Chain A
Amino acid sequence: MKIEVKHNRICAGAFLVCMALIIVYLSGIFLSQRVEEQLYPSAGLSETKMLSDYYPDLKGSPVDTEVYIFRGKKPGASMLVLGNTHPTEPSAIVSTTIVLENAMVEEGTLYVIPRVNKSAMSHTDPQDATPLGIHIDTPNGQRYFRVGSRMTNPVHQWPDPDIYYHNAGQLLTGKETRNVDRTYPGRTDGNLTEKICYGIVELIKAEKIDMTIDTHEGPPEYPTIDVMIAHQNAMELAGTTALNLSLEDVEIRVDASPVNLHGFSHRELGDHTDTMAVLVETVNPVMGRLAGKKSEELMLEGRDKFYQYASENSDRLYTEYTAEGKPLNLRVARHVETIMQLAASYNEMDTGKRLEITGVPTYAEIMENGMGQYLGGK
């Protein structure tokens, strides 16, 4: 049996019309990823700046992003919280939003950048097959958060080189040139992604930020999960925080940032500024290669039969995976508690400065009431 398609104008015309209709339909879907979700900063918000206020080259670019500033009644220590470095990691997205929408600062200053790579939020990556976003019920109705890509949108930065040569002499695959957490400390003559990093470095220097927290997620087969990776100048802070977290039933490991692994926030922000840089990771099954069907349900509930099976039948996962899974609520609660404990632990250090943040829910509160209770709205 051989199927043949007639080569005539009617077939060609019908094909072209079909393709045009599909493209119009798909354009609507893909362009909807550029619509920014509304955020509702708490009443403690003092000022909103743009990253371009610190690095003017970013003005008018698709990666210029809001820097929300919460100043306390008294001066003190400062903390920068980064979310959406990788928009494929929803607990980072939601936890920074909860901090933004609940924090009241009594002493010191809190800076929150909930959308570090806006360009990466505006598209999804082929071969990820992730849902376009997640819906979370709140007392004020349902909130929608986009799930994007790890990388800057190629519409904004393209083509990739074959090899990404980092300034420190490190070689990576070319696509990493669009990954914010591989391109720190950034450069003024670099690409768009490197300019985001440069802008963040400039912000940290200009505001003399004492500690910087970069929120992430990783797959269960990845060694770097449920962990704080700290620059050597932040090891005391991270160690104290891990101890304090264990008292709240949050078990977290502390890893030292490898000295020769460049481009990461925990390495370069510590090396190129005076901030104490810490990167925190939770577990997200959707990002993993063992994940079953990619769905919003998997992203929210975190239950996956394949990971459960791998956990029960091998010792090759870096976390225990039970039938309860790793729900987003748990991952968000861990991140929020870690951020708050980092601030609290800083106050235990002998620096002469303090950072007092109130209003942000604890791990126990989020686990009991659900993350939606702490998301604002109209």
Chain B
Amino acid sequence: MNKKKERIIKYLFTMLAFASLAFLVGIVLVLFKEALPIFTKVSPKDFLLGQSWYPTAEPAEFGILPLILASLLVTLGALVICVPLGVGSALYLHELAGPRQRAVLKPVIEILASVPSIVYGFFGMAILAPMLQNSFNLPIGLCALTTSIILGVMATPTVASIAEDALSYVPRSFREASFAVGADRWQTLTKVIIPAAGSGISTAIILGMSRAIGETMTVLMVAGGSAVIPSSIFDPVRPMTAAIAAEMGEASVGSDHYNALFAIALILFLITFVFNIAAELISRRFRLKLGLSR
């Protein structure tokens, strides 16, 4: 009797544990099911490489290249900010901060990582955009630059805290060996610790990138929204997430436009999926290299 109960409980837990997998598969299925009809109207090549996005014109045009490039541009812009700041902060925390400073800074960074994206978007719209517009004399403050800055600042705590974790996994013995052969702290850091934690740091950067490219509310509020291939960082752009969020409300269910928006979501999902798998593989190699079990 007891044994049977144990077995049932184990099955129950097994089933519940597969929920995450089920949801992930569910998301993929939904995206495919709602996205595929558009490819009977537009070839995948024209969809991905088409340069005009006129979903409601007659005849409609569904070319999302401007949206993809916009997403890439603001994500790259964000990386320019969040990689040096995030990794630099992590190195500072790991190498220079005393125990007391660490005890304050580490949680502070973690707490800052939880600031909601709508707050960043609001700040970008109400304060940063007008400020940049005035100081750079731009035609409009809502542009790729503003978006990149906000996304970069937003992803910095994420990058910092994951990179710091990676650094803390580097065994003490590496450092001691380096000191023993006469290296100073800076040399030890750049020649030994950073290479040892390198793949861990790249995981942090990839996850930061994944966060930036999938961010929605901020780009919706700050990016400006022109569906044109950006020619400069000061151009207003329409990243993929912004197009989905802005247009889904107005596309009627089952229309071509609706399916096209799901197709954008599918592509976005695949991009972040590749990022996440890459991060997973790199961090596994990192653990193996350092002989960590988890």
Q: Do A and B bind each other?
A: no
